[in-house]
Amino acid sequence: MTPVDDIISGIDTLKPIPPLAAQIMALAEDENSSTVEIADLIVHDPSITASILKICNAAYFGLSRQVNSVRDAIVLLGLDEVIELVLLNATAENFRDEPAGYGLGEGELWHHAVISAHTAKILAENHGFATQKHLIFTAALLKDIGKIIMGRFVAFSYEKINILVHSKGYSFSEAEKEVIGINHAELAARVGQKWRFGDQLIYMMRHHHMTDENARGNPETALVYLADIICMMIGYGTGADGLAYRFYSEVLDRMKLTEKDLQNAILNTGYRRQKLDKLLSLV
């Protein structure tokens, strides 16, 4: 078994996405699906229902009355909020541990994942991609899942990676690929394939660093990339790789976004950060 094969086999150590969440992801990727279909899926899953009701009845939401059903939650919070809670609940456990090698503390990768997902969704809503916001949210949430498996391999090879970053001008993900034979974005795509995600979601996870020039012309992937950049700019989840991240200004140009648009998104993310931190304590 090669080192890369050993890394890929680590996918089996992750907790698979529950079938319901996988179905929601598939519907989110299908532009012909309806929110009613998604709501019906949630309503008929007892374990997800119990988790959602527990979260919704926490003081965090400050609702005027007790939530007794998923339909209640949808009425009081809105379907978008409930869908996001389902996805967060389905993915949280995999992100709990600290990934060695990336310079992140316990819980930082999870916080970064959630905040970048919400930022990507806001960018989607504000810039003409509202119909694909759940897909974009999911891609941003799961884009770094490869780090959970890659961590110990990065830690072992950190000195070699660091030399390429600081002496040769590599980005961190480029150095990962050069030294280890695979980077965390490619590994995230492998996770998506193993879990039977849709092609578009896998593509976005694989290319969220935009090292492939063709990906810079894919607007959904560009929004995930920009959300990641925004989190780095406000210093959220900036580990070792965040200090060696490439910014491609052409992505802004292709998306017809201005520096002011980016600044507004940064302010919006900073504003939501404290609120999201409180939410994460419930999931």
Could you give the CA distance from residue 242 to residue 191 in angstroms, rounded to a whole number?
A: 22
Structural domains of the chain sorted by starting position, each given as residue range(s) with its CATH number in brackets = 3-280 (1.10.3210.10)
Could you give the CA distance from residue 134 to residue 56 in angstroms, rounded to a whole number?
A: 20
Instruction: Locate 271 and state its tokens.
Output: 């504003």
- Model confidence pLDDT, tens digit, residues 119-169: 999 999 999 998 889 899 999 999 999 999 999 999 999 999 999 999 999
Ranked by mean pLDDT, which of 32-46, 55-69, 218-232, 259-273 comes out on top? 218-232
pLDDT at 202: 96
pLDDT at 170: 92
> pLDDT tier at 231 (50, 70, 90 boundaries)?
confident
What is the mean predicted confidence (pLDDT) over 254-274?
83
Percent of the chain with pLDDT over 90: 38
pLDDT at 226: 94
**8 Å CB contact between 136 and 220:** yes
- Model confidence pLDDT, tens digit, residues 160-188: 999 999 999 999 999 999 999 999 999 99
pLDDT at 40: 81
Indicate the pTM of the whole model. 0.90
Percent of the chain with pLDDT over 70: 94
Looking at this protein, which amino acid is placed at residue 170? Y
**8 Å CB contact between 206 and 186:** yes
